[in-house]
Amino acid sequence: MGEVKLFFGPNHPGMHGNFSVHMYVEGDTVVRARPLPGFLHRGFEKLMERRLWYQNLALIPRICVPEPDINEVCYAMAIEKIAKIEVPERAQWIRMIVLELARIASHLMSFPGIGGSLGLYTGPFWGTADRDRVLDIFESLTGARVYHMYIVPGGVRKDLTPSIQKSIKETLDYIESRLPDYENLIFKNRIVHTRLKKIALLDRETALELGITGVGLRATGVPYDIRKVDPYLFYDKVEFEVPTATDGDAFSRVYLKFLEISQSIKIIRQALEKMPEGKVNVRISDGNALRYRVPKGQAYVHVESTRGEYGYYMVSDGGEKPYRVAVRGASYPQTFIGIEKYLPGTRIEDVPIWLSTMDVCAPEVDR
Amino acid sequence: MMTIIRVAAVLLTGFFVGLTLEGVSRKIIARIQRRYGPPWYQNFIDVFKALSKNGITHGWIFDFGILMALGGVIATLAFVPLGDLVAFPGLDNLFIIVYLFAVGALGMAMGMVGSGNPNSSIGVARALTQMLGYEIPYMISVSAVMYYYKTASVSELMLSQQDSWTLLKMPLGGIVAFISLLGMLGKKPFDTPIAPAEIASGPMVELSAKYMGLLMLMHTFSIFVEIGLFVDIFLGISNYWTFLIKFTVIWILATLISSVLPRFRIEQVVKFYWKVPLGLAFLQALFVLLGWVF
């Protein structure tokens, strides 16, 4: 049987988002693979140069759909770094709570989502239902469910009221009580083990060479987490662990995400306790609140997203608009070099598992 | 004249009960997955809507294959006794049913390969490979039952279970038949041929409108044949109504199992079938030969 070309995406039930992989298949094995980005290209980095600093707040969350808050916090922190603005302590803690809630929401879509590739559809549905509880919190806190535009340069838009704090605590208790169910459904299932273990292997050297971070790297035994390596906000003031594994296979990558949810819950509980009273934002400049200028300078800030290191490199020429903003998408290396170099040799059955556990995220890659 | 009425009764039962139960099982799965789920009559809406539209054809092999699939399965269903409702008394031989059933499967394979989509071909190849996996243990287990009762007529096999169900007499054979049944129904973990995330629903990928509607009907009828045979052979004597109750129980059991399991890879399917169920089937056959039946 000769070589057959299969289109994996953009219209394919196994593909997440608007992305395509052209696979050349011999029998059941992929011999060549070509990633085709561009279906979702909106030119964010260029658009940002044409808009005011404040206007960009509505633009940046769109770069990453499942976890938009990392963009807001990167953008705000970069501006604060250039303008040397001291952000109120309470705002920093609230940012941490929002980031960790976003991490839980994203992981709740991501780790049960492996059920979509495996045919265990109960997982994704449960995950989506439980993620909705987190989105409810976002709605009451920010007024929006997915794109919050809540973390702004100088702090956050609104204070975290006691009633929202109460609902956060209740939601955390609920999600914690659901975790054993997920473990029974997915991680104790023997068929899941046979499908995921020793599949989509990624060794430490390859991960380091490609620049893969996040669970991809941590699954190979490297405890690399920006929250520990280069703490931002108040991550050095809370206690949490960075779960790692040594197998570097699909199973350990998915399982690490599951373990990280418990750590995020731990961080939020500590943050809610340690958060002092006070202001939640300061003004960037004394002039017009919508047309402020950022002093000349440049900065790189990075945060730990669910997919790895996520960073903004920002240059300001002292004007009303950014001179240049470059985004380091965490899933960039595995999506391009990874697919072209390491997807060949995979069987058709394992391609969705490969793409899903390597965190190929189309909106972030296309930008 | 009576035969025509009986055949019509069998087919109408297959149509109404099959589609209703598919709707109910969608509702059950939805509740397990913490959703509200579609109404129980959703599958009727789907089938009628699909049949009322004009689809895209991929040549006469494609058209003919789908008709052959539906025709083959309808012909098979006419021979399956639904409790005491037997359309062709004396002709409900298990071998006739098994051979006729292959016509439907081959028709589907032909039509889907005729669509020219590589995903369809992969799906069909997987379906036929999977068939190789479950047919052998199933046939050994059923052959042991036929050997024990000295008949191949399905209604006689059913009527022979005067004192106790075959499932209780030959529990290993019953288990093997049930596991094979999951494979025939394409329930998880054996839904590898239609794996949506891997091969975009496999054989069904090029189906649209009325072609899809016809194949949905074929699927409903084949569920009736597969579970119906299991109920007749293993679950004791039943009349028309108790048959439907047993049928519902087995269908819901398969649905429940399916909703909490992921799917195997194709070689894992065959390996599994040729290891556990085949071993159990041989053991059951040995017990029957030795006369060790409860």
Q: Tell me if B154 sits within 8 A of B227, measured CB to CB.
A: no
* Res A357: pLDDT: 86
Mean of all residue pLDDT scores within chain B: 87
Residue A12 in this model has a pLDDT that exceeds 90: no
Angle at A253 between CA B34 and CA A230, to 5 degrees: 110
Sign of CA dihedral A155, A158, A163, A164: negative
Q: Which of B35, B195, B261 sits opposite A191 (nearest CB)?
A: B261
- The CA-atom distances, in angstroms, between A231 and each of A66, A83, A225, A302, B188 are 23, 20, 9, 10, 45
Residue B176, token pair as written in the block: 């093997």
pLDDT band at residue A1 using 50, 70 and 90 as cut-offs:
low
| Maximal CA-CA distance, chain B | 59
Residues 201-220 of B with CB under 8 A from A: 201
Between B251 and A332, residue with greater pLDDT: B251
Report, as an integer, the average pLDDT of A81-95: 89
Q: Is the pLDDT of residue A286 over 80?
A: no
A191 and B263 within 8 Å at the Cβ level: the answer is yes
User: Across the interface, which of A13, A125, A349 has its CB nearest the CB of B265?
Assistant: A349
B70: closest CA among B111, B114, B129, B127?
B111
How many whole angstroms separate alpha carbon A328 and alpha carbon A212?
12
For chain A, strand residue ranges (E) read: 4-8, 20-26, 29-36, 151-152, 155-156, 297-305, 308-316, 324-328
CB contact under 8 A, A125 and B34: yes
Q: What is the pLDDT of residues A219-249, one digit of tens each?
A: 898 888 888 888 888 888 888 888 988 888 8
Give me the mean pLDDT over the A331-338 stretch.
Answer: 81
Nearest-CB residue to A348 (from B122, B261, B263): B122
The maximal CA–CA distance of chain A, rounded, in angstroms, is: 72
The beta-carbon neighbor of A352 closest among B189, B197, B265 is B197
Distance from CA of A141 to the nearest CA of B (A): 26
Chain A nearest-CA distance from B199, in A, is: 8
Residue A293 and residue A316: Cα distance in Å, rounded?
9
Is there a contact between A349 and B198 if contact means CB atoms under 8 Å apart? yes
Residue of chain A whose Cα is closest to the Cα of B126 = A28
Smallest Cα distance from B120 to chain A, Å? 11
Q: Which residues fall within 8 angstroms of residue A83, CB to CB, at 6 or more apart?
A: A153, A284, A294, A295, A297
Nearest to B233 by CA among B130, B294, B151: B151
Tell me what the mean pLDDT of segment A73-78 comes to: 91
Please give the average per-residue pLDDT across B187-210, as a whole number: 83
Query: Pick from B35, B197, B262: which is nearest to A189 by CB?
Result: B262
Pairing of strands A308-316, A297-305: antiparallel
For A182, name the nearest residue in chain B, comparing CA atoms only: B260
Q: Tell whether the model's pLDDT for residue B283 goes beyond 90.
A: no
CB contacts, 8 Å: A125 with chain B: 33-35
Q: Is B196 on the interface with A (CB under 8 A)?
A: yes
Which residue among A4, A185, A351 sits closest to B260, beta carbon to beta carbon?
A185
Name beta bridge partners: A23: A6, A33
Nearest to A194 among B32, B119, B268 (CB): B268
Q: B268 to chain A, minimum CA–CA distance in Å? A: 9
* Percentage of residues in chain B having pLDDT higher than 70: 100
Q: Is B290 on the interface with A (CB under 8 A)?
A: no
Interface contact B36, partner A, CB < 8 A:
no
Greater pLDDT, B194 or A9: B194
Amino acid of residue A52: L
Q: Which chain A residues have a beta carbon less than 8 Å from that of B260?
A: 120, 122, 185
Q: What residue of A is the nearest CA neighbor of B35?
A: A125
Q: pLDDT tens for residues A194-220?
A: 888 888 888 888 888 888 888 888 989
- Alpha-helix residue ranges (DSSP H) falling in chain B: 2-32, 42-51, 60-79, 94-114, 118-149, 154-159, 166-169, 171-185, 196-199, 209-234, 240-259, 266-290
Mean pLDDT of A315-341: 85
- b/e burial code for range A258-294 (CB count within 10 A of at least 16 → b): bbbbbbbbbbbbbbbeebeeeebbeebeeeeeeebbb
pTM recorded for the entire structure: 0.87
Is B271 in CB contact (< 8 Å) with chain A? no
- At A176 the pLDDT is 92
Contact A234, A93 (CB under 8 A): yes
Is there a contact between A192 and B32 if contact means CB atoms under 8 Å apart? no
∠ CA A150-A318-A86, nearest 5°, is 45
The reply to whether residue B200 touches residue A12, judged by beta carbons under 8 angstroms, is yes
Give the tokens for residue A363.
């909106």
- Any chain A CB within 8 A of the CB of B267? no
Q: Tell me, what's the ipTM?
A: 0.84
- Whether the pLDDT of residue A349 is over 80: the answer is yes
According to CATH, the topology of domain A43-330 is: Cytochrome-c3 Hydrogenase; chain B (1.10.645)
* Boundaries of every domain in chain B: 2-290
Would you say residue A39 has pLDDT above 70? yes
Strands A29-36 and A151-152: unpaired
Q: Is the pLDDT of residue B209 over 90?
A: no
Q: What is the pLDDT of residues A112-152, one digit of tens each?
A: 888 888 888 888 999 999 999 999 999 998 888 888 888 88
